[in-house]
Structure 1
Amino acid sequence: MSDSVLSCAPPSPGTRSDAEALRLMEGIFALAMDGIITVDADQRIVLFNPAAEAIFQIAADQVVGQPFWRFIPERYRAVHADHVARFLGSATANQAMGPAGTVLGTRTISGLRADGEEFPIEASISQVEVGGARFATVILRDITERIANEEARELLAREVDHRAKNALAVVQALVSLTRASTQEEFVNAVRGRVSALGRAHSLLALNRWKGGDLASILADETEPYQRQGQVHIRGPAVVLGPDSVQPVSLLVHELATNAAKYGALSVETGRVDIETAIRPDESLELRWTETGGPPVEPPAVTGFGSTLMTRLVTRQLGGSVEVDWLSRGLRLTAVLPRSAYRPGSAPNRLADAASPEPAATPAQNGRVLVVEDDALVAMDLCEQLAALGWEIIGPATTLEEAAQLLAASPTPDIAVLDVNLRGRLVYPLADQLRSRGVPLIFCTGYEQIDARYGDCPVVRKPVSARLLDAELRTLRTPAG
């Protein structure tokens, strides 16, 4: 900065000249960690420190003498120029001017880098008088990273809240759907399934919710139920996606517990072979084969455990499952779609007593479309609503499946919609249903619903069937 930039009065005896004072100030500014820009009364830059050079990505000698507003997005330039002009014309020093002349401290504004990139900056303004002339100094800080971190924390908090509520909903469904002939059997069955969920969530947390190693899941879920050397696992290295870890863990847990009670793992001579393979169409095959156990006979009645395994594979994972009741032991083959992963025991009868059909009230209340991507939650929800007198359409686990149901079924009287379906928002379906005049209830773990649906009831997970039933009845009863 040259002396000609600033007009300084002659120094008084024993005092430092204005030029010397300004050079000292410039030296101090050069060491500052924050960006500092000083402008004159014409709002032209007279000082641009190294931190400002780094922030705006341009050298000081390219901007000194230019208007400061070149670093402000064009749509804001007139407003900021007016603020600075009024500030320089005021008698109050060391204060920041906000919108409409209000006095503020540090505030967040938009900046403009030399390459045209907009970014958020935190700025405060002060003024100094030198030789009768006033100068405004802006101290600023690039807060792009801070805002990104804050947004990431907020997103993580919402995601943790969503996952926690979904986990509670799944546990609630497990408790509600489990059947047993004694209290002890019931407690053991629920405890085992909840423990499997816990292991799945621990694995996901360890991998930052990016998925889980299939071999680890197979080993962890079978280890408590086998004698040494009874279970043999073979196959390629496969990492399941985050939405596949929980259902696969529950599937293997059901196979292992039932094999330990009634199948190959119930005797010392029994053996279980678990083989995984990638098929030519890139689907993932998981085959569970039991040998050396008690004689196998197909069950006369399908229990909850068998239903659960089928629903987990077909509805939640979008795959297929086949059970062969061979004389030497049961064989289950599950085929999962390519989306379920990335490369890098069935009993002679199931542990649960046959699940009795609920004493259902006749379906007299109306038709309800249920859209829910978690198989357990969907099973529990549909069972309870049917028992309360509702005719169920579904459940659908994807947008595509919901569209097929709508095409093949009478228009529902009401729709109960989960918001997040395996990473896809349900709103396109909600738009379609609303256009057909179908009332909507959102059933979700998320705290926020699209503002367009602010008038729709929201039932938070874990779901109370009675509360949901009350909301359904309210929508079915005309106002007045």
Structure 2
Amino acid sequence: MTNRENLLGGLPAAVYTTDANGLITYFNEAAVELWGHRPEIGRDEWCGSWRLRTAEGDPLAHGDCSMALALKQGRAIRNAEAIAERPDGTLVPFLAFPAPTRDDAGNITGAINLLVDISTQKQAEIQTQRLASIVESSDDAIISKDLFGVIQSWNAGAVRLFGYRADEAIGNHVRMLIPDDRQQEEDLILGKVRSGERVDHFDTLRRRKDGSYVAISLTVSPVRNAAGKVIGASKIARDITERKESESRIRMLMREVNHRVKNQFAVILSMIRETGKHTTTIAEFDTQIRNRIMALSQSQDLLVDGDWRGADLADLVSNQIRPFAAERRIRISGEPVMLSTMAVQNLGMAFHELATNSAKHGALSSEQGTVEVDWTASSDRFRLSWKETNGPSVAKASRKGFGRIVLERVAPVALNGVGHLSFQPDGVTWTLDAPLELVKTPDS
């Protein structure tokens, strides 16, 4: 065994040599392990790899490798990066350090090359790049800080959320984002981080560059070095403004639903009480209560379809009259009006009572009878008229039933208006005059 073999054979790094023509004259076992095969001494040239690729992964001819260049140019080359492809397809990135060898006269006699496997380093770089890409493309604000609370990194999500550019934030204390009345939160967070604890999602407020406040969900995790020592913290802040607004709307809606349900109970109790006063049999009572509650339910359906913002007046009229007559016998006219929820409920009851009475005793009880419903909503007044024609001869009712109470008292009073029911020879007429602001929705 030569001195060269004694010297190079035991090295953990891959080493091989060539003669002046580039033919391989020696390689150690570490080189065999890197290449994944054994080149033929005195026959294979320039590089012992089965195949070569550039650092970018493109095919690389052996005659263009760094060892060949070092021999051809007569100079050492440092940190030449390439990829060795093994026969089994495995790719091994490496750094090469080829240098020519010379005799005493200075003539090139060959070359020696040291190969350093950088697979682990490359994998770490890929993971780091991938992580950096994920962090930078995240919609959430991802910020790192040291154990003193000084900002170390600031992604694009943080720029969008807080308004500060990275160069404005990095190097400053994270307290610049914390409202004055929440400064103690940072003390608690840093205390937990220093002890290696994670701070799970909690909702809080932070201050933007423009001074406005934003609701966020915050998570804080300790950052450790290679030795496992905590050296800082990573904070992920998510904008929860929409969630908070949604929660507020839900709470408001639940209060509103609770209020409306109580109102509905009051209306139904009033129906039961008044219907009981004006019916003589259980069957009659059952039928009238059932029909009135169903009419109230139809009005509720319109409100639900409109997300409880209200309902279109024409839809309400059509909805309540449709079960009693063909469309050709009903004429509805008036400018579009989006009714308030109170108006929907009260006018819905009024139209049901009018339609029911008309189907039993009025215009809708005969083949030629018609109903005209029209309204105006000009200036600050709302005026509506229900007029029946071509029906049987009408006589003034001798007693006030529940329907008449609804038309003359309940619906008008609820809308702070005046209702008038008249019994003309050719049909019933009902008019309503009320303040427009109580009839329509505020935003219509």
TM value normalised by structure 1: 0.59
Letter in 2 for 1:250: M
Distance (whole Å) between structure 2 residues aligned to residue 32 and residue 228 of structure 1? 57
Q: Paired residue for 1:206, among 296, 305, 330?
A: 305
Letter in 2 for 1:140: A
Contact 2:179 2:205 in 1 (8 A): yes
- State the match for 2:396 in structure 1: 298
Distance (whole Å) between structure 1 residues aligned to residue 274 and residue 142 of structure 2? 65
How far did 1:184 drift? 2.6
Counterparts in 2 of 1:30 and 1:222: CA distance versus 1, 3 Å: closer
- State the match for 2:344 in structure 1: 245
Contact 2:408 2:421 in 1 (8 A): no
- State the match for 2:367 in structure 1: 268
Distance (whole Å) between structure 1 residues aligned to residue 215 and residue 334 of structure 2? 51
Which structure is higher in RCO with an 8 Å CA cutoff and minimum separation 6?
1
Distance (whole Å) between structure 2 residues aligned to residue 316 and residue 180 of structure 1? 25
1:153-178 CA distance string (max 9 Å, x none): 33333333433343233223212220
Contact 2:380 2:437 in 1 (8 A): no
Contact 2:141 2:156 in 1 (8 A): yes
How far did 1:68 drift? 1.6
How far did 1:283 drift? 1.5
Q: Give the match's secondary structure for 2:429.
A: strand
- State the match for 1:3 in structure 2: none
2:222 paired with 1:126: yes
Q: Paired residue for 1:60, among 148, 166, 175?
A: 166
Greater mean alpha carbon deviation, residues 257-266 or residues 192-201: 257-266
- State the match for 2:382 in structure 1: 284
- State the match for 1:105 in structure 2: 200
RMSD, matched Cα: 3.2
Distance (whole Å) between structure 1 residues aligned to residue 126 and residue 382 of structure 2? 75
1:87-118 CA distance string (max 9 Å, x none): 56x4x32x14xxxxxxx533333211111122
Distance (whole Å) between structure 1 residues aligned to residue 168 and residue 127 of structure 2? 21
Contact 1:313 1:336 in 2 (8 A): no
Unmatched 5+ stretches in structure 2: 1-116
Letter in 2 for 1:275: D
Query: How many residue pairs get matched?
Result: 319
1:186-236 CA distance string (max 9 Å, x none): 222112211211111111111111222222222222222235633332332
Distance (whole Å) between structure 2 residues aligned to residue 277 and residue 108 of structure 1? 50
Greater mean alpha carbon deviation, residues 196-205 or residues 306-315: 306-315
Counterparts in 2 of 1:264 and 1:123: CA distance versus 1, 3 Å: same
Counterparts in 2 of 1:271 and 1:125: CA distance versus 1, 3 Å: same
Q: Give the match's secondary structure for 2:268.
A: helix
Matched ranges for 1:74-473 at <5 A: 74-77=180-183, 79-83=184-188, 86-87=191-192, 90=194, 92-93=195-196, 95-96=197-198, 104-121=199-216, 122-129=218-225, 134-178=231-275, 179-226=278-325, 229-278=328-377, 281-342=379-440
Letter in 1 for 2:412: T
Counterparts in 2 of 1:332 and 1:126: CA distance versus 1, 3 Å: same
Counterparts in 2 of 1:308 and 1:54: CA distance versus 1, 3 Å: same
- State the match for 1:472 in structure 2: none
Q: Which of the pair is proportionally richer in strand?
A: 2
Distance (whole Å) between structure 2 residues aligned to residue 134 and residue 219 of structure 1? 71
Letter in 2 for 1:305: G
Q: Paired residue for 1:69, among 155, 159, 175?
A: 175
Larger radius of gyration: 2
